[in-house]
Structure 1
Amino acid sequence: MLAILERIDPHSDRIDLLVELVDSLRPRRRQRARAIEAVRTLTQLLRGNPEQAWALRSYIVTMLEKRRHTSLYSDIGILSNDGFFTELKRRIAYRFLPPALDDLYLSDALDQVLYADDDYEWVRSVPDADWLALFDVVADAPPPLDAAPDRARLVTVLGMLDAIRTLSCRVCALGLEPRLVHSYSEIEDFDSPFLMQNIEVNRYLDEYGRFLEGGVERPDDARHLLVMLEQCEDVIAKIRRNSLSFGTSVALTYVLVAITQSIIRLRKLLFLVDLGDAAQEATHGSSAPLALPAPAAMPGARSHEPGALVAASHTPQPPRPFTARRAAAVELAQELVEAHNSKYRVRGLLHDNIDLLARNVTENASRTGEHYIAESRAQLRGMFKAAAGAGFIVGFMALFKILLGYLRMAPLVEAFLFSMNYSLGFMLVHVLRWTIATKQPAMTAQRIAAGLHSRDGRRIDFDSMAELVNKVFRTQIVAVLGNVAVAFPTAFLIALGWRQMTGQHLVTPDKAHHLLHDIDPFGSPALFYAAIAGVWLFVAGLISGYYDNKALYTRMGQRVRQLRWLGRLLGVERRARVSRYVEDNLGGLMGNFFFGILLGTTGTVGYLLGLPLDIRHVTFSTANFATALVSLDYQITWVEAANAALGVALIGAVNLLVSFNLALSVALRARKIQFTRSILLLRALGRRFLHAPIDFFIGPKDVDAKADSFGTDRTATRDAK
């Protein structure tokens, strides 16, 4: 360090020596503690060599004066106005080939000095007090007798003021975006706070400029401006709440995140430059790091003795106390370093923008999940009937899949035919209001997450949660039984009828043995393939929620009602019914369609890539078991039959568990709910089972019978962390 300090030219603006100096502070990986020691060593060296401290100060001031500051405060850590997908492409491209650096900008200088992606970690590991001690030694270094006064504080403050104006204009432009007005039309009924804050910022900065020129003794404080920013935040909060009912989009979410980031940065900059709080700190014997000594010290000041003020500012001072403003300055510096190191990371962009969209997707999926939860025995009977109807359809879908396999088409054509068989069949089940049991977990998991009685993400009413989980459990069991109980005899009768009509079995004995092998839980990768199907079930649930959200956000029903040709074709009343159906069922239809595509193409993709990829679905496995049984003329041992039955049961369990766990995990994360103490939920479920074991499996007799009547103290709400 000492060798580097001795080579510093106080009048140079070259950045290479500063890069070397920071390199001497940068610790090796996994040795963050050495950064603290290095910073303290540098502080002691400068404290013992005032001349070198002044040379370093002059060197840094020269670099600050030669570079533009605005982009550092207004761009780093804040999303651009380019939009989500443009920003995503830009970050991916810059990860491989970063943009050219320009010595004209201070932000590019930061890129040269703190070039390592993990620099922010060791910067944050150094205590704030150590950083402030180092800065104070440099700032208070005594100048030589012939030294000219520098403008370090003025340059920094002017850069922040320019950034405040830039950020305010950006907030104003984003706040008037049509997609924002579309989501909160009430903003057109009064003066937009996004526009008014820009007017107030310009007034505030003009007054501040007159203060710097010596025209006024002290500028007005920023209280009124902060009120306008609060109103902007209120509008953003209302739009976020409305999006849960009316949907959202990636573009809208991106705009909301960009505005929020800009407002937060505006507040931090205003806190650092505003002089209203500086007077309060001065009464406590402290000095703000960015507070200007007096307008007379600025260029163009009217005082006749500026030199006295400048000289006073370089007088050695005792250590300054750790004030809120000084802490805010260090915090902003650390934030800028971290944002700079992560500015090309895709994960951060996705994290900032996907949370709200995921919340809306899971919220819409949870509303769909309410239809998959039976409250009473009567509703369970209705669920069984709906599942039985779906099992009947699946029996014919299994037949069509076998027949399509006999065509021996090219792999991609075969995948397309299989996909259409699955997709159209599942969509028919949805149109007929029947139920595929395995489609339920992805929906009911969202409903469970939405039903958690947790406002802060920590306190959860486990008894209420156990009640809901119990309803989901018995509904799911009944739905699976309905699917399987009808799919098996349907496929069995189809195989018998095929033999009666054609004189041949639907499948050959070899094919029948292959079908039995496919559902063997121990002699084949059937359970692994069932897990893949469970993942696709989870993805289908997300797709359903996405399109439900899209139908709300884009007002799909109203758009369909505006189709004049559809009115001429169907009539006004039928068109209205079609529009309502599309708006209410677009998510379900698209989720079933894409679920069929995923099931139909997985095996072909695995074949083309040479990977062990395929799917196993409990209802189709049941139908294939029945087909194989008939084709072998029932000539199978009881061990083979039991193995096949066990395979069907385990495939169904894996389908349900994988899709449910994935959906519940995403739903909890989207709602920022921390849930790790599952033992408390299991205890609550155990109490319900012991109190009413029959009702636990088949539900209460009446819908009005409350499952919480078993005497558990519902006031005992526990922490789930």
Structure 2
Amino acid sequence: MGCIHAALPPSRHQQKNLPGLARRLSALIHADHLPDRMDAWLALNAWLSGGKLWDDVYIDSADVHGSATQRFAVLMDVLAANPPLAAALRRALRAILDETEGANLFGEVGIPSDRGFLSELGDRTTSKLIPSPRDDHDLGHLMSRSYPNRRDLTLIRGLQPSTLQRAVDLFFPKDEPEMTAALERAMADGFRLLLARVQGQGLSLKLRARSQPGPVARSPFKRLAQSGENLVCAWEQGRISGALLEIWGGDVVACREEMQMISTRLESEGISVDIVYGLDVLDRCLGRMEAIVAVMSTGREAPGPVLALLRQLAYAAHDSASLRHLVRSNLRRLQRRIVDRAGETGEHYIADNPGEYRHIWVAAAGGGLLTVGTAAMKMAIAGAGLALFMEGLASGVNYAVSFLLLQAFGLMLATKQPAMTAAAFAAIIRDRKGAERLDVIVDYAACICHSQLAATIANVVVVASGAYAFDATWQWVTGHSFLSYAEATYVFHALSPVDSGTVFYAALTGCVLYAAALIGGWVDNWAVYHRLPQAIAEHRLGNRFGRLRMIRLAGVVSRNMSGWATNVSLGLMLGMMPVLGKFFGLPLDVRHVTLNSGILSLATSALEVEWVGTGLLSLAILGVAVMFVLNLGVSFALSLWTAVRAYNLSRDDLRELRRRLWLRLRTRPRDFLMPPRRLGAATASTH
């Protein structure tokens, strides 16, 4: 280690770092076996990353890139000032390259497996739970071990081409071509692995069925395999030419055009996670091959392509173990599809002119009237003494039937609106840019606010008055109230936001409303992807009932599949949530503002007048108000968050959006309470 300290007159910062560097270089140079060399290399790489506690040295710099690059500069200075030390380090590096296989480094690292999304998800989950065995003979495994955390990439992010060129000259000098021979063979083999992956994935049935029709021989994925093999063979023989590069580049462009066509068809015909996964594999393979070809065509004299390939490998090694990266990159398209479908439904819940505003009042009043029967049936089921599971199932079916009737008659329930209307923002986020997009979103938010307020008031007023009328009729027929004294007392205590779980349950109900909207969008995507309407229209039952009837049925299914799935799933989740809570001993229950408004009215009419002065009624009414805020607020916030993530709305845009919303609320509060007087103000701006 003394030779390192004597190599140059170090600065104060370098003096602080030299002991740690010396120990790591000594361990790497004097390692006798491959596993020891690998461990020493990883220790040196970790030291170079900076910002970590290693031995007695800790760098805590605001510029993380700077600390990493400074350490790398120290290493380069030491090696440049001490040629024997540099030679010893090259021998250790060559020993690693001679004893390892590098094809997987270039052809496998960061490229998902061919077995599909679920298999890849399972493999990554297993690797998080169960330690993976070492494979010291695979350079790809070494790369993955080098970058397990994001902060391990600090050196790669901050490295400059000129600095990398200095490292290349030290580690792979021109007068020692044998140093690069192993890496060149590995790069050629990795390139061939990528060609095979592209051909196999591109010609798979799931992608070929959505590609441009034609013989397999003319497929760009097939042609790419041929031109790529010609290119790598020419490079190995030292006769790579511009003509070969041009042919290969044209085939890459054709492959990307084919992928774009498949992607466009997916957007209209339904998203499949497996197809999105396959497209992601193709995109990664093509990107890796383009980076390799850039190195092949420029050679060691141009450090830029080498650095680009090194960065791509490092980031791919890091992402290859990330569950979050896998899920986000492959489910974003499905997320957009679901958001878009929910947004189309949400447009029907927004009034931007007096005529539509009146329609919302009428439809919501009808929804409140229907909910009176739903609330009465719910209390009847609760008091029937059924088994726990049967009670939950009966309640869920009651809710589902009620929601389906709402859909069939064009009625509205306020709590079903937020998940739909927030998703409608996606069309604005997708189709507009800059300040214009934010202005339209503010207009849309005002429309949503006064539409939600109108629907909620109509729901609650009608369901409350309807429940009183129902109970009065029940007393006239039977001589007693619909609810018993004990049941009514329980309702008052259960709805209190102070001494019950109403606040948490109301927020949980908002999550259920959001989840139901997602399920509806997913089922609609599934039906479109599997061409369910077409299958119904062409079914053999048409020979018996008439082909025209089957076509009409297919149209009904196509228009209503999302709504049916949303309503049925919402009803069953609302009914089964309390049952699951009791079964598992968890605090799970639901508090739905419209349903509980009706139940509260039934309970109030069953009690004596003196109960009004006890404060229990006030607490119950406050609980209903809390349900209104949390049901609508939570479901709207979650849906808006989904839309923002699906279309990558930046944080700066979100901050500017909040500022503009507050400004509109202060200057024009009427817009959030009543529709604009001019016809179609918001809708015209969003289409």
**Partners in 2 of 1:682 and 1:190 — Cα distance?**
60
- Scaled by the length of structure 1, what TM-score is found? 0.82
**Partners in 2 of 1:623 and 1:217 — Cα distance?**
79
Counterpart of 1:665 in structure 2: which amino acid?
W
Find out whether 1:394 has 2:421 as its counterpart.
no
Match of 2:573 in 1: 598
**Partners in 1 of 2:382 and 2:174 — Cα distance?**
84
Cα 1:117–1:461 shift into 2, 3 Å: closer
Asked whether the equivalents of residues 95 and 345 of structure 1 are also in contact (C-alpha less than 8 Å), the reply is: no
Asked whether the equivalents of residues 557 and 583 of structure 1 are also in contact (C-alpha less than 8 Å), the reply is: yes
Cα 1:434–1:182 shift into 2, 3 Å: farther
Counterpart pick for 1:167 among 194, 201, 204: 194
Asked whether the equivalents of residues 510 and 630 of structure 2 are also in contact (C-alpha less than 8 Å), the reply is: yes
Find out whether 1:450 has 2:427 as its counterpart.
yes
Match of 2:112 in 1: 79
Q: Provide the secondary structure at the position in 1 that maps to 2:601.
A: helix
Shift of 1:535: 1.0
Asked whether the equivalents of residues 280 and 330 of structure 2 are also in contact (C-alpha less than 8 Å), the reply is: yes
Counterpart pick for 1:61 among 63, 86, 94: 94
**Partners in 2 of 1:202 and 1:217 — Cα distance?**
12
Asked whether the equivalents of residues 462 and 681 of structure 1 are also in contact (C-alpha less than 8 Å), the reply is: no
Find out whether 1:51 has 2:84 as its counterpart.
yes
CA deviations on 1:113-144 (whole Å, 9 max, x unpaired) are: x27545633433653355543443233398xx
Asked whether the equivalents of residues 548 and 584 of structure 1 are also in contact (C-alpha less than 8 Å), the reply is: no
Query: Greater CA deviation, 231-240 or 24-33?
Result: 24-33
Q: How many residues align?
A: 646
Find out whether 1:378 has 2:355 as its counterpart.
yes
Counterpart pick for 1:230 among 218, 242, 253: 253
Match of 1:90 in 2: 123
Cα 1:8–1:183 shift into 2, 3 Å: closer
Match of 2:133 in 1: 100
Asked whether the equivalents of residues 31 and 37 of structure 2 are also in contact (C-alpha less than 8 Å), the reply is: no
Find out whether 1:683 has 2:658 as its counterpart.
no
Counterpart of 1:449 in structure 2: which amino acid?
A
Which 5+ residue runs of structure 2 have no aligned equivalent? 1-20
Find out whether 1:479 has 2:506 as its counterpart.
no
Equivalent runs, 1:647-666 vs 2, <5 Å: 647-666=623-642
Counterpart pick for 1:575 among 550, 559, 564: 550
Match of 1:281 in 2: none
Counterpart pick for 1:248 among 264, 271, 282: 271
Q: Provide the secondary structure at the position in 2 that maps to 1:628.
A: helix
Cα 1:20–1:111 shift into 2, 3 Å: same
Match of 1:617 in 2: 592
Cα 1:518–1:59 shift into 2, 3 Å: same
Find out whether 1:521 has 2:519 as its counterpart.
no
Shift of 1:365: 1.0
Identity %, equivalent residues: 26
Find out whether 1:193 has 2:191 as its counterpart.
no
Cα 1:650–1:538 shift into 2, 3 Å: same
Match of 1:541 in 2: 517
Counterpart pick for 1:124 among 156, 161, 186: 156
Query: Greater CA deviation, 486-495 or 347-356?
Result: 486-495
Asked whether the equivalents of residues 496 and 616 of structure 2 are also in contact (C-alpha less than 8 Å), the reply is: no
CA deviations on 1:177-216 (whole Å, 9 max, x unpaired) are: 332234445577993222222222122223334x34xxx5
Cα 1:423–1:203 shift into 2, 3 Å: same
Match of 1:559 in 2: 535
Counterpart of 1:14 in structure 2: which amino acid?
L
Asked whether the equivalents of residues 547 and 590 of structure 1 are also in contact (C-alpha less than 8 Å), the reply is: yes
Shift of 1:49: 2.8
**Partners in 2 of 1:645 and 1:6 — Cα distance?**
75
> Normalized per residue, which structure has more helix?
2
- Scaled by the length of structure 2, what TM-score is found? 0.86
Find out whether 1:206 has 2:233 as its counterpart.
yes
Q: Provide the secondary structure at the position in 2 that maps to 1:590.
A: helix
Asked whether the equivalents of residues 454 and 673 of structure 1 are also in contact (C-alpha less than 8 Å), the reply is: no
CA deviations on 1:208-230 (whole Å, 9 max, x unpaired) are: 34x34xxx585745122122212
**Partners in 1 of 2:649 and 2:158 — Cα distance?**
32
Match of 1:26 in 2: 46
**Partners in 1 of 2:461 and 2:646 — Cα distance?**
36
Match of 1:629 in 2: 604
Q: Provide the secondary structure at the position in 2 that maps to 1:637.
A: helix
Match of 1:316 in 2: none
CA deviations on 1:618-658 (whole Å, 9 max, x unpaired) are: 11111111101221144432655454434323311221111
Query: Greater CA deviation, 532-541 or 642-651?
Result: 642-651
Cα 1:218–1:57 shift into 2, 3 Å: farther
**Partners in 2 of 1:508 and 1:482 — Cα distance?**
28
Counterpart pick for 1:512 among 483, 488, 505: 488
Cα 1:363–1:707 shift into 2, 3 Å: closer
**Partners in 2 of 1:592 and 1:515 — Cα distance?**
25
Cα 1:390–1:8 shift into 2, 3 Å: closer
Asked whether the equivalents of residues 368 and 594 of structure 2 are also in contact (C-alpha less than 8 Å), the reply is: yes
Query: Greater CA deviation, 332-341 or 384-393?
Result: 332-341
Counterpart of 1:545 in structure 2: which amino acid?
G
Asked whether the equivalents of residues 447 and 682 of structure 2 are also in contact (C-alpha less than 8 Å), the reply is: no
Find out whether 1:586 has 2:613 as its counterpart.
no
Cα 1:502–1:185 shift into 2, 3 Å: farther
Asked whether the equivalents of residues 452 and 464 of structure 1 are also in contact (C-alpha less than 8 Å), the reply is: no
